[in-house]
Chain A
Amino acid sequence: MSNNDTQGTLWEVFLQRKPGQPFVHCGSLHAFDKEMALQNARDLYTRRGEGTAIWVVPSTAIVSSSPEDLGPFFEPANDKVYRHPTFYQIPDAVKHM
């Protein structure tokens, strides 16, 4: 927030649609503190029962991978087919595995 900017800071909103489900990013908003961020998130993103729980996180706290290193960053997983169940052969006689 710069000195003459009075629009608050940017927060990211994560919503859990139903109990037990993962929290999914649904958008961003402006707020001045965490209580306001939570209330704004409720008013902005759950006007029609879209969620049962909310996380709000200051945008500056999010660390993300960068698109330029997409290849090398995820490369370690590319040659490890043995991590997948289809890599293994199970005799036909054995059912339900």
Chain B
Amino acid sequence: MEEWFDAKLQKNEMIEPKDWMPDNYRKHLIRQISQHAHSEIIGMLPEGNWITRAPSLRAKIVLMAKVQDEGGHGLYLYTAAETLGTSREEVLDALHTGKAKYSSIFNYPTLTWADIGMVGWLVDGAAIMNQVMLQRTSYGPYSRAMVRICKEESFHQRQGYESVCHLAFGTPEQKAMAQDALNRWWWPTLMMFGPTDDKSPNSAQAIKWKIKRESNDQLRQRFVNQTVSQAEYLGLTIPDPDLKWNEERQAYDFGTPNWDEFAAVVAGNGPCNKERLAARVKAHNEGEWVRAAATAYALKKNEVMSAA
């Protein structure tokens, strides 16, 4: 069976839910897909925080549409994880008890309206880098969810950049607000790609299984290469004194993120870890009566139908 599985990967054929797969492949996917789903759901919180305070009606409807998309992405991914034999209840429980992680980026606060623009431009931009690669992941349901998500994400990044444009080309105060937000979001965004390749043991196995197609460092480099000119256009300065074009590599050299900070945030000690998880658990608990009522209603209707 293992040979059959390896041969299938060799031929770049997708693995489907009923196919035989190694236990560790299954486990790795459940972990990765459910954590990806959790990131979408937790990601709604820092943005939802600004819906009532969006500076215009246009900005408000755009932000609401975006937050709704994030919820949708979470749901695509939860059902993809369920094809591997886990239940919704189980994966939610893992999130709520702190057993499962989500992207460390959402443990940073959105302090000003400029932060919402940065989340779209940088955070979604970095997420797209990763998700475009995952469209070619070896597990069918995950790949199909990613194709759908990527189509929707490009709206997210574009609306974010547009929003930052308004500030960067606005009053000096607005420009300063954009610069301040860039200063705070740049490094956490680079950390989104995960530890460097030599410190990421899971990553090598994931590439062997073709779950991932490119390494953390490759994706990070591509993100930097792509983003520098976008920042230059805005007249904003990326807060990295080591950032410099390297003619030989045809790529930007850049500084090292603060990996101690990354480890602290992943371990639960970022600025908003407790607040985010508490908000999610509260929403879940307060929705309990709705789920209970819907369950009771469905059971009652089934009884009426089978009695008739």
Contact = CB atoms under 8 A, between A and B. Distances in A.
Q: Is the A/B pair a real complex?
A: yes
**Band of interface residues on A:** 20 to 34
B79 A33 contact: no
A32 B72 contact: no
Contacts of B88: 5, 7, 30
Given A27-B145, A29-B79, A67-B18, A6 B291 contact: yes
A28 interface: yes
B261 interface: no
Interface of B is mostly: helix
Contact of B295 (A27, A32, A44): A32
A44 B88 CA distance: 17
Interface of A: 1, 4-8, 10, 26-30, 32-33, 36, 43-44, 47-48, 64, 66-68
30 contacts: A4-B89, A5-B87, A5-B88, A6-B89, A6-B292, A6-B294, A6-B295, A7-B88, A7-B89, A7-B291, A8-B291, A8-B294, A26-B148, A27-B76, A28-B79, A28-B82, A29-B79, A30-B88, A33-B297, A33-B298, A33-B301, A36-B294, A44-B72, A47-B65, A47-B69, A47-B152, A64-B18, A66-B18, A67-B16, A67-B20
Interface of B: 16, 18-20, 65, 68-69, 72, 75-76, 79, 82-83, 87-89, 92, 144-145, 148, 152, 288, 291-292, 294-295, 297-298, 301
The 6 A-B pairs at the shortest CB distance, nearest first, are namely: A6-B291, A28-B79, A32-B294, A7-B88, A32-B298, A67-B19
